[in-house]
Structure 1
Amino acid sequence: MKNFLAQQGKITLILTALCALIYIAQQLGFEDDIMYLMHYPAYEEQDSEAWRYISHTLVHLSNLHILFNLSWFFIFGGMIERTFGSVKLLMLYVVASVITGYVQNYVSGPAFFGLSGVVYAVLGYVFICDKLNHHLFDLPEGFFTMLLVGIALGFISPLFGVEMGNAAHISGLIVGLIWGFIDSQLRKNSLE
């Protein structure tokens, strides 16, 4: 286990640990306080509280929610950090948090939490970098199809009583695809 954790980057470990610790605090009775302090800005006076544009990504609403998000982030965020460095993953996290939060708020208001918009940005980034850089990450053939199925499930999930941040998922995927495309072109140009 020690070797496994040692292979992960600092940003991957820090963000994973933060999400886990916040979730544990929620389970210990601090959920209302955490949600109040960390939700996306809902009122004009909260607009200047800069942390709110990112902190909503660290809060999760169920065991399945945190398990899904942290599993994907740990694996694929870790790939980005090991390949491109901690600064790249941190920048992607911050930019995706802000953009996906803005889009989700625009579509449905400020009542949303979770890392999934960032996760979709990470997945989009890994996918396009893999495709444009001769299988850099050695992803399976159906990887992009899996991403699209995940988004499609988000649209039918309300039929089963589950609400998802579809706008955050889609905007995150777009952020990741665009950023990965740009980085792949820059990488290709630097190798020529």
Structure 2
Amino acid sequence: MPMIRALCTDAGKDLTEYSRWLWRAGIAHRISEEAGQQVLWLADESAVDFAKTALEAFERGELETEGGQQPTLDIDSSGVFGMLIKHPVTIALIALTAGVAILSRFGADPAWVHWLSFSDFELVAGYPYFLPLSQSLDAGQWWRFLTPVFLHFSGLHLVFNMLWLLILGGRIEQYRGGLFLLLLVVVIGITSNLTQYLFSIDHPLFGGFSGVVYGLLGFCWIYSYYLPSAGLAQPRAVIGFMVGWLLVCFTGILEVVGFGAIANAAHTAGLVSGCVLGGIYGYSRRQQRMREES
């Protein structure tokens, strides 16, 4: 595979930690020596800016590693088994969501939807009659604030969301840990569901992981603004595509062409809440580093 000459640096620098960090970030590369300099070669041109930012952070002593340990390349951790070992929470969330989709027959089984929807309902002449939310909460059904994220009403809807969960959730779990990812999913999920409920209170039947996916994107986006070397940065093309897709959803054209109703309020609330969480956490982490260095 032809490789791209990305950058050069002094031959006297020990780039072992930097190289390991790049491998853990999934960036294929090699380092050679030429004319008294070390040259970094990359397999993917889109990773050049990311590698340069990481090198600058490495030279400042700010390259973030997890648990204080140096990142290493585990050549045996490829494939599905390796993904399960590296990202157990992400894989578990995908398996749970896919399981609910199959058992609920993509929302066609009212028994499953009845238990997982934000508002409980009864079928009257084949149509849902929604019960007051307070009635469900009085019965202790607090799970309804979160469980709509596991409902999906088409295979395309499920696959789209799970692919993004694998990409974004897997990256967050790799660098910040599974419990941190789970906390983000819960907070963003509840926020996006509650917002969607307020905007569809007359017919509060909605579902999908999209709001959480947008929240994870927002978290990575803003967190990386404060800590570019943290391993969560996403390509501008990815952010542009997702924000563009959100704007297209607002036009209503997707409903016209047969995609069904779009939970725009959940998507927006998810993105905003993820950005806020990323900003708070990223800023606090950067301030902590500055205090430690001073």
- Please tell me whether residue 179 in structure 1 is matched to residue 277 in structure 2: yes
Letter in 2 for 1:158: E
Aligned to 2:110: 32
Aligned partner (choices 123, 134, 149) of residue 57 of structure 1:
149
Aligned partner (choices 216, 219, 244) of residue 149 of structure 1:
244
Aligned to 2:97: 19
Letter in 1 for 2:279: F
Name the SS of the counterpart of 2:234 in structure 1: coil
Name the SS of the counterpart of 1:47 in structure 2: helix
- Please tell me whether residue 6 in structure 1 is matched to residue 85 in structure 2: yes
Distance 1:67 1:88, change over 3 A: same
Moved more, 18-27 or 157-166: 157-166
Rg: which structure is higher?
2
When normalised by structure 2's length, the TM-score is 0.61
- Structure 1 CA distance for aligned equivalents of residues 108 and 200 of structure 2: 25
- Structure 2 CA distance for aligned equivalents of residues 16 and 172 of structure 1: 18
Deviations 1:68-87 (A, max 9, x none): 11110111011111111122
- Structure 2 CA distance for aligned equivalents of residues 114 and 177 of structure 1: 20
Aligned to 2:164: 72
Aligned partner (choices 247, 255, 261) of residue 158 of structure 1:
255
Distance 1:31 1:137, change over 3 A: same
- Please tell me whether residue 103 in structure 1 is matched to residue 195 in structure 2: yes
C-alpha contact 1:127 1:143 (8 A) present in aligned 2:
no
Gaps of at least 5 residues in structure 1 are none
- Please tell me whether residue 93 in structure 1 is matched to residue 185 in structure 2: yes
- Structure 2 CA distance for aligned equivalents of residues 75 and 141 of structure 1: 15
User: After TM superposition, where is structure 1 displaced by more than 6 Å over at least 4 residues in a row?
Assistant: none
When normalised by structure 1's length, the TM-score is 0.92
Deviations 1:39-95 (A, max 9, x none): 002523113410111111111100001001111011101111111112221111111
Distance 1:105 1:138, change over 3 A: closer
Q: Kindly tell me the number of residue pairs found equivalent between the two proteins.
A: 191
CA RMSD between the two structures: 1.8
Q: Which has the higher contact order (CA 8 A, sep 6+)?
A: 1
The share of aligned pairs that are identical, in percent, is 28
Letter in 1 for 2:180: K
Per-residue deviation at 1:147?
2.3
Name the SS of the counterpart of 1:174 in structure 2: helix
Gaps of at least 5 residues in structure 2 are 1-79, 121-130
- Please tell me whether residue 115 in structure 1 is matched to residue 115 in structure 2: no
Distance 1:145 1:28, change over 3 A: closer
Per-residue deviation at 1:170?
0.4
Per-residue deviation at 1:179?
0.2
Letter in 1 for 2:239: F
Name the SS of the counterpart of 1:27 in structure 2: coil
C-alpha contact 1:100 1:168 (8 A) present in aligned 2:
yes
Greater strand percent: which structure? 2
- Structure 2 CA distance for aligned equivalents of residues 60 and 180 of structure 1: 27
